[in-house]
Amino acid sequence: MGMVTEAVAVTGLGATTPLGGDVASTWAAMLAGESGIGAITEGWAADLPVRIAGRLKVEPTTVLDRVQARRLDRCEQVALVAAREAWADAGAPDVAPERLAVVIGTGTGGALTMLGQDDVLETSGVRRVSPHTVPMLMANGPAAWVSIELGARGGAHTPVSACASGAEALALGLDLIRLGRADVVVAGGAEACIHPLPLAGFAQARAHSTRNDAPAAASRPFDVDRDGFVIGEGAAVVVLERASRAAARAARVHAVLAGAGVTSDAHHITAAHPEGQVRAMRLALAAAGLPPEAVGVVHAHATSTPLGDLAEAGSVAAAIGTHPAVTATKSMTGHLFGAAGAMGALAAVLTLRDGLVPATLNLDTLDPEVALDVVAGEPRKVLAEAALTNAFGFGGHNASLLFTVAP
């Protein structure tokens, strides 16, 4: 098949997050303004400058088969949980295996396995290292396991672009359908790396909040008192499908993925460059054939870092304007790194579907340098035609996705 110009429908949603073990509970908690951030009480965190995180609300091992779960890294576990929900939500579409693809992004992949098995090697010797180590630590593990679970033979891909990975996965899924290489794509992001080493590294880089005495108040995007992000874990997955195919089987369409923009800054390994962010948003608009005025909601990347939030606020104002209702749900979930972009996509889709924009938690005093309409306090009713979600990552990766309401 050649290039396909028709719309790409979102027919399935799945997630497991610090707010809930599925989409419904996560969304309900978001609208209720709940926080998924808590204290790390284990002994290994006692000497760390960071002792807070957004841990999963529901342990994946309570959902997955016990034997299978033992052979999966936590990152692979959450991917499988979210993908199963998304697939069921889409009605398990009847699609030829060769026309079904999987794209699951991740930032660190099986970091817990790599670090844990390295400890085993050093303390107990080579004979104690698990034979499942390599399949558990490889970054393509989540995509591979989901492809095996669903029998997808149209490709299993893994974008690894730090915190832009999940959004880039959806952008690639959109391309695969538009290029005629797949009819259905299961796309999303997965991350699970709450461990002393990443926490110590982020603390040393002064990127992570150290509000250890008030975990629920630590992630505060756009607030004047923000002091860094909070690490989170989880997965979000969507099912993308050619719109005519979805219509032919009378599938429920949550929203339409109308366009995507992916750019790189070529500027600095950790500092963002606003020009790359602006260009990503403009590319997404152009791909969707929509003017900036059509965007009623922006799901900001907004991690709660002093510099990052300001840079994005300026970029959104330049690319879209100051008219959209802006939300930052990392205030509730923490930063899910490789899953963050997919989580943002999920929130954008649900916002369009239900006409409700979640309020940004902990926004007590909007930074005076932020010229955006950031929703705070209560969720806001908005009838929007389109919603844009941003995801930016270390390395200068920028990904913007534009969703429109279901036809």
For the segment 301-318, the average pLDDT, to the nearest whole number, is 97
Instruction: Give me the percent of the chain exceeding a pLDDT of 70.
Output: 99
When the pLDDT of each residue in the chain is averaged and rounded to a whole number, the result is 96
Supply the pTM of this predicted model.
0.97
- Strand-strand pairing, 156-157 and 100-105: parallel
What is the tens place of the pLDDT at every residue in 79-95?
999 999 999 999 999 99
Is-catalytic flag, 163?
A: yes
How far CA 157 is from CA of 1, 39, 85, 103, 181, in Å, comes to 20, 35, 20, 5, 13
Phi, psi of 304 (to 5 degrees): 95, 20
**φ, ψ for residue 63 (rounded to 5)?**
-105, -35
Residues 6+ apart with CB under 8 A from 122: none
- Kindly indicate the confidence band of residue 198, based on its pLDDT and cuts at 50, 70 and 90: very high
SS (HEC) of the chain: CCCCCCCEEEEEEEEEECCECCHHHHHHHHHCCCCCEEECCCHHHCCCCCCEEECCCCCHHHCCCHHHHHCCCHHHHHHHHHHHHHHHHCCCCCCCHHHEEEEEECCCCCHHHHHHHHHHHHHHCHHHCCCCHHHHHCCCHHHHHHHHHHCCCCCEECCCCHHHHHHHHHHHHHHHHHCCCCCEEEEEEEECCCCHHHHHHHHHCCCECCCCCCHHHCCCCCECCCCCECEECEEEEEEEEEHHHHHHCCCCCCEEEEEEEEEECCCCCCCCCHHHHHHHHHHHHHHHCCCHHHEEEEECCCCCCHHHHHHHHHHHHHHCCCCCEEECCHHHHCECHHHHHHHHHHHHHHHHHHCEECCECCCCCECCCCCCEECECCCEECCCCEEEEEEEECCCEEEEEEEEECC
Contacts for 105 with CB less than 8 Å, ≥ 6 apart: 158, 159, 160, 161, 165, 166, 167, 168, 169, 188, 189, 190, 338, 339, 341, 342
Query: Of residues 254, 273, 299, 335, which has the active-site annotation?
Result: 335
- Of 157, 195, 273, 301, the active-site residue reads 301
Does residue 2 register a pLDDT over 50?
Answer: no
- How many Å from the N-terminal Cα to the C-terminal Cα in the chain? 25
Cα separation, 55 vs 79, whole angstroms: 15
For range 283-306, the mean pLDDT:
97
Quote the tokens at residue 9: 């429908």
Q: Report the pLDDT value the prediction gives residue 272, as an integer from 0 to 100.
A: 87
Retrieve residue 281's tokens: 């948003």
pLDDT at 407: 87
When pLDDT is averaged across residues 312-322 and rounded to a whole number, the result is: 98
pLDDT attached to residue 167: 98
Q: Say which of 163, 254, 299, 397 is annotated catalytic.
A: 163
pLDDT in tens, 172-194: 999 999 999 999 999 999 999 99
Q: Average pLDDT in the 31-45 region?
A: 97
Q: What are the tens digits of pLDDT across the range 220-262?
A: 999 999 999 999 999 999 999 999 999 999 999 999 999 999 9
Mean pLDDT of 132-144: 97
pLDDT of the residue at 306? 96
Q: Over 60: is that where the pLDDT of 368 sits?
A: yes
Q: Give pLDDT, residue 6.
A: 78
* % pLDDT > 90, the chain: 97
pLDDT band per the 50, 70, 90 thresholds, residue 274 = confident
Bridge-partner residues for 387, per DSSP?
297, 403
